[in-house]
Amino acid sequence: MRDKGDYLFTSESVSEGHPDKVADRISDTVLDAFLSADPFSRVACETLVTTNRIILAGEVRGPASVTTELLVERAREAVRDIGYDQEGFSWRTADVACYLHAQSAEIAMGVDASGNKDEGAGDQGIMFGYACRETPELMPAPLFYAHEILRRVRDLRRAGDRAVKGLLPDAKSQVTLRYVDGKPVGCTSVVVSTQHEEALEQAEIKRMLRPIVEGLLPSGWMCSDDEFYVNPTGKFVIGGPDGDCGLTGRKIIVDTYGGAAPHGGGAFSGKDPTKVDRSAAYACRYLAKNVVASGLADRCTIQVSYAIGVSKPLSVYFDLHGTGHDVDEAKLARVVGEMVNLSPRGIREHLRMNRPIYAPTSAYGHFGRTPDEAADTFTWERTDLAEELRRAFNR
């Protein structure tokens, strides 16, 4: 996304009932089951969902108490919590097959700490983090509002509110904002597609959703009615995994920054924190958010890279997009490296990641969420380094 100029920019979100998000939720539920039993479990779980079928596959290392029967039960509980008890996909009747097997000994050897060797990265790769001043959560505005629309509909649906009576779990949103001089000033179009009961008509659904969307956007931002698209095909009754196959890790741009920032390519869900695809991306978001929260810059992108089995990052790169306030990016990288150990072990210890905290991340974005102090979740969204960063730059 450009720092200056006038342009339109679009991001999309998908609900917890979208087939790919159902798969992500189940994979993270499997991860949480292992971490509950042993915080040092290794998990790389992939899930496929389709018409009344759930398939788990991947590699794990954990206690024998996490049985296939337990994982099948947890998968059903996840589907029930999302709200699927339909003829074509039901938590009660779906066939659940588990093909998880032991982690490769060669991968384990590269990751495990031994002798003078620190814990290594679980794979090679590049990871990015990003923050900007477009919203109080320091997230890109198009993605933030796309998430908020679906989250609000979800909350109303779960509460049994008549305002969304007849709407079902599967949904997608898309928000296009107009930028002037690089800042969002209004919404030019909104798309919401939501699964619904047969009796509901398209016009009625549009009437239900308009006040919800308008109420979430800043005052005066709502697009014209002819640019508010609701179920553009006219009907969306067959949804969820019955309507479309879902796979873990297919919504990585929805999970991160909505296309406003780069993505290294690795998915998050179902992976324990030795997998830097997840933990290092969380750490980069944490650092970028603290840089912006400290007032050192208005935008910040961070890239790190790793090699499998190697503990230290091979590179750490900061880009303030010309918005830094008399801040040298090379110095910033050095200062941050002294504050946070970016080895896989350092990240998971600093952000307390070896805990069953991942199922809530599986829908509505891994970033821009509110840290829960009581549950100690979304630790990477805290801004506890901001004051230290200000002091380091004499602010």
Sheet containing strand 42-50, edge to edge, reads 95-102, 53-61, 42-50, 246-247
**pLDDT over 60 (residue 16):** yes
Instruction: Work out the pLDDT band at 107, boundaries 50, 70, 90.
Output: low
Residue list, annotated binding site? 18, 20, 46, 59, 103, 170-172, 235-236, 244, 250-251, 267, 271, 275
> Distance between CA atoms of 274 and 119, rounded to whole angstroms?
8
Residues 384 and 281 grouped into a single domain: yes
**Exposed e or buried b per residue across 253-275, where buried means at least 16 C-beta atoms within 10 angstroms of its C-beta:** ebbbbbbbbbbbebbbbbbbbbb
pLDDT of residue 335 exceeding 80: yes
Burial class (CB in 10 A: 0-12, 13-18, 19+), 221: buried
Note the pLDDT of residue 372.
Answer: 87
Q: Are residues 35 and 155 in the same domain?
A: no
Question: What's the pLDDT at 122?
Answer: 73
In terms of pLDDT, which residue wins out, 53 or 372?
Answer: 53
Of the residues 239, 256, 273, which one is the last residue of a structural domain?
A: 239
Residues of each annotated binding site for L-methionine? 59, 103, 244, 275
Using alpha carbons only, give the angle 99, 21, 259 rounded to the nearest 5 degrees: 125
**Residues placed in the known binding site for K(+):** 46
pLDDT tens digit sequence for 156-203: 999 999 999 999 999 999 999 999 999 999 999 999 999 999 999 999
Q: Is residue 37 part of a domain?
A: yes
The answer to whether residues 46 and 184 belong to one domain is no
Kindly report the CATH number assigned to the domain that includes residue 24. 3.30.300.10
Cβ neighbourhood burial of 304 (10 Å; 0-12, 13-18, 19+): buried
Task: List, for residues 266-290, the tens digit of each pLDDT value.
Answer: 999 999 999 999 999 999 999 999 9
Q: Is the pLDDT of residue 1 over 80?
A: no
Residue 114 lies in a domain: no
| Mean pLDDT within 48-73 | 97
List beta partners, residue 116: none
- Above 80 in pLDDT, residue 113? no
- CB 14, CB 150: distance < 8 Å: yes
Q: 112: pLDDT confidence band, cut at 50, 70 and 90?
A: low
150 and 256 co-located in one domain = no
129 & 278 share domain: yes
Asked if residue 290 is part of any domain, the answer here is: yes
Mean pLDDT of all residues belonging to the chain: 94
DSSP-derived secondary structure for 331-382: HHHHHHHHHS--SHHHHHHHTT-SSS--GGGGSS-SSSPPPBTTTTB-GGG-
Assigned domain for 120 exists: no
Q: In this structure, what token pair is assigned to residue 188?
A: 């030019």
Q: What pLDDT is recorded for position 105?
A: 61
User: Does residue 84 share a domain with residue 61?
Assistant: yes
Dist. CA 303–CA 296, nearest whole Å: 18
Phi, psi angle pair for 288, to nearest 5°: -60, -40
The annotation places the binding site for Mg(2+) at: 20
Question: What is the count of structural domains for the chain?
Answer: 3
**pLDDT for the residue numbered 3:** 73
Model pLDDT, residue 123: 79
Handedness of CA 283, 289, 291, 293 (dihedral sign): negative
Q: Nearest 5 degrees, angle CA 107-CA 256-CA 209?
A: 140
pLDDT at 5: 83
Q: Quick check: 115 pLDDT over 60?
A: no
- Which range of residues forms the domain containing residue 202? 7-13+139-239
The last residue of one of the domains, among 184, 217, 239, is 239
Residue ranges for the binding site for ATP? 18, 170-172, 235-236, 244, 250-251, 267, 271
Shared domain for 179 and 71, answered yes or no, is no
Looking at the structure, do residues 253 and 235 belong to the same domain, yes or no? Answer: no
